[in-house]
Amino acid sequence: MMPLATRGLFDPFEDLMTLQRRINRLFEDLFPTSEREALPTTWTRWTPAVDIYEEPDAILVEADLPGLSKDDITVNLENNVLTIRGERKLEREDKRENYHRIERAYGVFARSFTLPSEVDPDKIDAEFKDGVLRIRMPKKEEAKPKQIKVH
């Protein structure tokens, strides 16, 4: 069987990919970066992904923090604002002369969330496991939904 290109068939996706490669080369030629310029000279800002969801008796926060340990993370509560802070450091401190590209973000991050008034601040619990920070914020007793029996 002959390849599509030799049979004269039009492949729009191949044409788009060829165009994308040409545009990429154009920008690389116009704005060259040496290996030294491509490496971060200062920490870049990154923002970890966070899910916040509610259960009948608690509000939960889950933050993806791959590559960090629990010692790299702080969780604070001040003026009803929960703040998660941390830092992901570049693993290698060598000259990095063999790096061709660094795309993963490193550096300091901070995420802050205003808590609803029904959260009991004295019962907040945080656990870090497998690169995921889980914060459980129980609701105050008076804020929990109650079933009312109909007579």
Are 63 and 132 in a shared domain?
yes
Inside any domain, residue 148: no
- The answer to whether residues 107 and 43 touch, using CB atoms and an 8 Å cutoff, is yes
Average pLDDT over residues 135-146: 83
Are 15 and 86 in a shared domain?
no
Domain span at residue 12 reads 4-32
Q: Whole-angstrom Cα distance, residue 119 to residue 136?
A: 10
Secondary structure of residue 5 in the 3-state scheme = helix
What pLDDT digit, counting tens, does each position of 28-63 carry? Answer: 666 655 443 444 444 456 789 999 999 989 999 999
Q: How many domains does the chain have?
A: 2
Are 106 and 50 in a shared domain?
yes
Would the pTM of this model clear 0.75, i.e. be above it? Answer: no
Are 45 and 89 in a shared domain?
yes
Are 116 and 137 in a shared domain?
yes
